C-alpha cells in the first residue's frame, strides 16, 4: 500500500487557451470562476483545497473552445511495491548507436590484442562509423519534445546501410595480411594445412562468443562454418565475411533475451541467463558489451550470486567507462539539446545592447552544457553527494572563461577545488546558465517553469490547448518579462490562468534574478526596438511556487525555492522515474513500483547518483524479463 503523503488534487482545467489573449486581455473565453477540487490527505498540506485563493483558481470545467478538464497531476512520492506485480512485456531493443559504436571498437581492440592497435583499426573504418546516424531523444506521448536517446528504436534504411558498411570494413580491416595471424591465430598464416580446419572451428567459437556475448551452440558453429564456405585453406576474404556476419547478427545488434528460470508466481516472467544479465549490466553501466571478467562470471554462472553480482556492479561503476554512460543520462534528463545557439542573435541590435561585453561566441552553448554535465559529474564521482548538495551548491563548475565571467568567478581547471560563488546567489544545479539562457535578450519564465514542473518534479502538465501561442511573449512597453508574462497568461478569467498562475509561471519567476545569459541581476534593463536602453525596473522574484500543490509558502529567492524543492521529496521520486526510463528504454508502469521504489530509496537521505545507478541494476526487475 502506498504510504505517500497525498496532496491536494487540483483539477486545473486548461482548455481553449487560444493564444488570443493579448496584453490587453482581449479575446479570452471561459469563466475561470470554478473551484479547485480535491481533498487534503494525511500530510495535512497547508493551503486551501477550495476556491479561488491565491494561485489556486483551478476549475473543473472552464468553458471555452476545447474545454477538456485536463488536470495537473501530482506524482506519487513513493511507489507501491508489489513483489508479485508483473512488469510489462519487454520489447526487443536494439543497441543504441552509441552502444553499437563502443561495441565495435571494443571488439576490434580485443581482436587485435590491444587498445592502441584497436584504435588504428577504428581510424581505418572511420568513414562508415562516421556515417552511423545519431540516436535521437525519442518523442513519446508523455514527452513530445524528446525524452531519452535510449528510447530511440527507429530502424531506417540508413541504419541498415551504415551497419552493413561498418561490418564489411571491419571484416576487411581485421583480416589484412598483417593482422590475420593475430585475429584468427598463427594457424591461419603458418605453412601447415593440417591445422586449418580446427583453426576455423576455434575462431568461430572464440570470436563468436565475444561478438554475440555468449558461447555459441553447436548448430550455430555449423552455420558459421557453412558461411565461411568451401575453401580448405585459410581465406582472408572468407574470414572477413564471417566477421561481417557476426557483427550484423541479430544477437550482436539487439538485446536478444530468452530467459532462463521461470519466476514463480509470475506467469511469463523469467530470470535472465547469466550471459543475458552480463550484457544488460554492461550496456547499462558502460554502454558496451561485457569484458573478460564479466564474461567469466557469466560463464561459470556465479554472476547470479548476489555477492558476485554486487562486486561486479561496484567494479563497473568504478571504471572510467561508467562516466560517459551516466553523462548520456545527465544530458537527456536536463535536455541539454534544447539549449539554443547562444550567438544566433549577435547581429540583433537589442541582443547586442543586452549582451554588451558578454556577446557570446559559438562555443558558449557547449560550455553551458559542459558546465551542467560537469557539475553532475562532480557530485556523482568526485564528491558523491545527494540531492541537497546538488541543488544548493555554491560552487561553480564553468571551465570556459566566457561562461565563468557570466557567473562572476574564475574558470575552474577541473581538478582543483571549484571556485565559490557569492553565498546564496546561485544555489545549485538549476540556476546554471543552461537552465536560464534563451539565446535572446529575454528570459523565458514559462519554459523554465515547465521544465522544473515536468523534469525535476515530474508533475504532469496537460499540453497547451490548440491555438495557444508557442512563441515567447513580446514584452510590452516599459514592462519586465515577468509583467508581460503575467499580463498575457494570468489574466483573471482566462483559460490560460489556471495552469500558468499556479503550476508554471511561479517556478519560472523565482529565477528572474538571472538574465537571459544567466547573469545575476537585481533589475531588468529595458530596451526599445533600436537597442537603446529605455530604463531599468527591479526584478520581482517573489512567488508561490507550489512545489507541492496546495502549499502556499512564498519564496523570494532561488535559495528558498531550492529549499522547498529539496524538502518536497519530489526530486528523488522524479529522478527515480527518469532513471527508470533511461535504464529500461520505456516509460514506467504501475507494475514497476518495486524498481522505482528501490531507486528512490537509494537517493533518500543523501544517496548519490552512483547509489541510484547501483540500486537500479540490483533491482529484481533488472534481472528479469516478461515475455508475451
Ligand atoms: Ca595453417
pLDDT-derived band at 71 (thresholds 50, 70, 90) equals low
Q: What is the pLDDT of residues 488-538, one digit of tens each?
A: 898 887 778 888 998 999 999 999 999 999 999 999 999 999 999 999 999
CA 359, CA 434: separation in Å to the nearest integer? 16
111 to each of 121, 148, 227, 243, 419, how far by Cα in Å? 10, 32, 20, 11, 45
Quote the ligand 1 centre to 196 CA distance (angstroms).
Answer: 5
Residue 12 above 50 pLDDT? no
- Residue 503 has what DSSP assignment? I
Task: Determine the length of the chain.
Answer: 628
- Position 11 scores a pLDDT of 25
189 to each of 127, 173, 179, 616, how far by Cα in Å? 29, 16, 10, 47
Quote the ligand 1 centre to 233 CA distance (angstroms).
Answer: 7
Residue 301 above 80 pLDDT? yes
Quote the ligand 1 centre to 241 CA distance (angstroms).
Answer: 19
Quote the ligand 1 centre to 315 CA distance (angstroms).
Answer: 40
Q: What is the pLDDT of residues 16-49, one digit of tens each?
A: 232 322 222 222 222 233 333 333 333 323 322 2
Report, as an integer, the average pLDDT of 339-355. 97
Quote the ligand 1 centre to 238 CA distance (angstroms).
Answer: 15
pLDDT-derived band at 283 (thresholds 50, 70, 90) equals very high
Burial of 469 (0-12, 13-18, 19+ CB in 10 A): middle
Q: What are phi and psi of 182, to 5 degrees?
A: -75, -45
Task: State the number of CA atoms in the 13 A half-sphere of 598 facing the CB.
Answer: 18
Quote the ligand 1 centre to 27 CA distance (angstroms).
Answer: 85
Domain boundaries, the chain: 97-253, 272-319, 332-567, 572-626
Quote the ligand 1 centre to 246 CA distance (angstroms).
Answer: 22
| DSSP H stretches of helix in 247-392 | 250-253, 274-286, 292-299, 306-317, 322-333, 349-355, 364-377, 387-392
Quote the ligand 1 centre to 106 CA distance (angstroms).
Answer: 27
Quote the ligand 1 centre to 197 CA distance (angstroms).
Answer: 8
Residue holding cell 531519452?
148
What mean pLDDT value characterizes the chain? 88
Q: What is the pLDDT of residues 178-225, one digit of tens each?
A: 999 999 999 999 999 999 999 999 999 999 999 999 999 999 999 999
Structure-derived torsion over alpha carbons of residues 278, 284, 286, 287, reported in degrees to the nearest 10 = 110
CA 166, CA 163: separation in Å to the nearest integer? 5
Q: Which of 54-58, 89-93, 230-234, 622-626 has the lowest mean pLDDT?
A: 54-58
CA 347, CA 365: separation in Å to the nearest integer? 17
Q: What pTM does this model have?
A: 0.87
Quote the ligand 1 centre to 122 CA distance (angstroms).
Answer: 28
Residue 624 above 90 pLDDT? yes
Quote the ligand 1 centre to 170 CA distance (angstroms).
Answer: 23
pLDDT-derived band at 136 (thresholds 50, 70, 90) equals very high
Quote the ligand 1 centre to 186 CA distance (angstroms).
Answer: 7
**Residue-by-residue DSSP string for 509-566:** HTTTTB-TTS-B-SEEEEE-TTS-EEEEEE----B---SSTT----BSSHHHHHHHHH
First to last CA, the chain: 28
Instruction: Specify whether the CB–CB gap between 179 and 215 falls below 8 A.
Output: no
Q: How far is CA 119 from the centre of its chain?
A: 29
Rg (CA), the chain: 28
CA 51, CA 37: separation in Å to the nearest integer? 8
- Position 354 scores a pLDDT of 98
Quote the ligand 1 centre to 41 CA distance (angstroms).
Answer: 78
Q: What is the pLDDT of residues 149-164, one digit of tens each?
A: 999 999 999 999 999 9
CA 272, CA 267: separation in Å to the nearest integer? 15
Quote the ligand 1 centre to 240 CA distance (angstroms).
Answer: 17
Quote the ligand 1 centre to 587 CA distance (angstroms).
Answer: 53
Quote the ligand 1 centre to 237 CA distance (angstroms).
Answer: 15
Report, as an integer, the average pLDDT of 139-157. 91
- Position 497 scores a pLDDT of 85
Quote the ligand 1 centre to 340 CA distance (angstroms).
Answer: 59
Quote the ligand 1 centre to 174 CA distance (angstroms).
Answer: 17
Q: What is the pLDDT of residues 227-273, one digit of tens each?
A: 999 988 899 999 999 999 999 999 999 999 999 999 998 899 999 99
Quote the ligand 1 centre to 175 CA distance (angstroms).
Answer: 15
The more confidently predicted of residues 551 and 467 is 551
Instruction: Specify whether the CB–CB gap between 266 and 84 falls below 8 A.
Output: yes
CA 372, CA 435: separation in Å to the nearest integer? 9
- Position 141 scores a pLDDT of 87
- The SS3 call for residue 201 is helix
Instruction: Specify whether the CB–CB gap between 127 and 141 falls below 8 A.
Output: no
Quote the ligand 1 centre to 231 CA distance (angstroms).
Answer: 12
CA 23, CA 17: separation in Å to the nearest integer? 14
Of 598, 591, 590, nearest to 617 by C-alpha is: 598
Quote the ligand 1 centre to 177 CA distance (angstroms).
Answer: 14
Residue 467 above 90 pLDDT? no
Those residues whose C-beta lies under 8 Å from the C-beta of residue 413, and which sit 6 or more positions away, are 399
Quote the ligand 1 centre to 192 CA distance (angstroms).
Answer: 4
Quote the ligand 1 centre to 188 CA distance (angstroms).
Answer: 5
Amino acid at each position: 500500500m502506498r504510504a505517500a503523503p497525498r496532496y491536494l488534487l487540483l483539477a486545473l482545467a486548461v482548455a481553449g487557451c487560444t493564444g488570443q489573449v493579448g496584453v490587453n486581455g482581449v479575446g479570452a473565453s471561459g469563466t475561470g470562476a470554478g473551484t479547485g477540487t480535491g481533498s487534503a490527505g494525511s500530510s495535512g498540506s497547508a493551503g486551501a483545497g477550495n476556491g479561488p485563493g491565491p494561485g489556486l483558481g483551478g476549475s473543473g470545467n472552464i468553458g471555452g473552445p476545447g474545454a477538456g478538464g485536463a488536470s495537473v497531476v501530482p506524482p506519487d512520492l513513493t511507489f507501491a511495491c508489489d513483489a508479485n506485480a508483473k512488469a510489462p512485456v519487454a520489447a526487443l531493443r536494439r543497441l543504441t548507436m552509441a552502444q553499437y559504436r563502443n561495441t565495435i571498437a571494443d571488439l576490434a581492440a580485443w581482436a587485435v590484442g590491444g587498445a592502441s592497435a584497436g584504435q588504428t583499426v577504428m581510424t581505418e573504418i572511420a568513414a562508415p562509423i562516421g556515417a552511423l546516424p545519431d540516436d535521437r531523444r525519442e518523442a513519446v506521448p508523455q514527452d513530445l519534445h524528446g525524452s531519452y536517446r535510449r528510447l530511440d528504436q527507429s530502424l531506417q534504411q540508413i541504419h541498415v546501410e551504415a551497419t552493413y558498411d561498418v561490418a564489411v570494413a571491419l571484416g576487411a580491416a581485421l583480416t589484412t595480411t598483417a593482422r590475420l595471424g593475430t585475429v584468427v591465430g598463427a594457424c591461419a598464416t603458418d605453412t601447415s594445412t593440417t591445422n586449418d580446419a580446427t583453426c576455423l572451428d576455434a575462431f568461430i567459437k572464440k570470436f563468436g562468443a565475444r561478438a554475440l556475448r555468449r558461447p555459441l551452440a553447436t548448430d550455430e558453429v555449423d552455420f558459421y562454418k557453412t558461411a565461411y564456405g568451401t575453401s580448405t585453406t585459410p581465406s582472408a576474404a572468407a574470414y572477413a565475411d564471417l566477421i561481417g556476419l557476426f557483427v550484423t547478427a541479430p544477437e550482436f545488434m539487439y538485446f536478444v533475451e530468452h530467459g532462463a528460470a521461470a519466476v514463480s508466481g509470475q506467469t511469463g516472467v523469467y530470470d535472465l541467463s547469466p550471459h543475458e544479465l552480463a550484457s544488460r549490466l554492461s550496456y547499462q553501466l558502460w554502454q558496451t558489451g561485457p569484458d573478460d571478467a564479466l564474461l567469466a562470471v557469466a560463464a561459470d554462472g556465479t554472476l547470479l550470486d548476489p555477492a558476485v553480482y554486487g562486486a561486479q556492479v561496484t567494479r563497473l561503476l568504478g571504471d572510467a567507462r561508467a562516466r560517459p554512460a551516466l553523462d548520456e543520462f545527465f544530458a537527456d534528463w536536463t535536455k541539454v539539446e534544447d539549449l539554443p545557439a547562444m550567438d544566433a542573435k549577435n547581429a540583433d541590435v537589442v541582443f547586442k545592447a543586452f549582451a554588451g561585453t558578454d556577446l557570446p561566441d559559438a562555443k558558449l552553448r557547449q560550455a553551458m552544457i559542459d558546465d551542467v554535465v560537469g557539475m553532475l559529474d562532480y557530485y556523482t564521482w568526485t564528491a558523491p553527494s545527494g540531492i541537497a548538495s546538488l541543488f544548493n551548491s555554491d560552487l561553480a563548475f564553468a571551465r570556459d572563461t566566457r561562461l565563468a565571467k557570466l557567473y562572476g568567478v574564475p574558470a575552474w581547471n577541473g581538478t582543483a577545488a571549484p571556485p565559490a560563488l557569492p553565498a546564496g546567489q546561485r544555489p545549485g544545479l538549476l540556476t546554471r546558465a543552461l537552465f536560464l539562457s534563451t539565446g535572446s535578450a529575454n528570459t523565458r519564465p514559462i519554459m523554465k517553469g515547465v521544465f522544473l514542473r515536468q523534469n525535476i518534479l515530474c508533475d504532469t502538465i496537460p499540453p497547451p490547448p490548440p491555438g495557444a501561442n508557442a512563441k515567447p511573449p513580446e514584452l510590452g512597453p516599459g514592462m519586465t518579462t515577468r509583467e508581460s508574462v503575467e499580463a498575457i497568461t494570468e489574466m483573471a478569467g482566462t483559460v490560460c490562468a489556471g495552469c500558468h498562475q499556479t503550476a508554471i509561471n511561479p517556478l519560472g519567476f523565482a529565477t528572474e534574478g538571472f538574465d537571459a545569459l544567466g547573469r545575476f541581476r537585481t533589475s531588468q534593463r529595458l530596451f526599445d526596438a533600436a537597442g537603446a536602453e529605455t530604463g531599468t525596473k527591479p526584478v520581482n522574484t517573489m512567488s508561490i511556487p507550489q512545489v507541492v500543490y496546495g502549499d502556499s509558502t512564498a519564496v523570494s529567492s532561488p535559495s528558498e525555492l531550492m529549499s522547498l524543492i529539496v524538502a518536497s521529496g519530489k526530486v528523488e521520486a522524479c529522478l527515480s522515474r527518469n532513471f527508470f526510463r533511461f535504464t529500461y528504454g520505456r516509460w514506467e508502469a504501475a507494475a514497476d513500483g518495486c524498481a522505482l521504489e528501490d531507486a528512490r530509496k537509494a537517493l533518500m537521505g543523501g544517496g548519490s547518483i552512483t547509489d541510484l545507478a547501483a540500486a537500479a541494476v540490483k533491482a529484481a526487475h533488472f534481472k528479469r524479463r516478461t515475455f508475451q
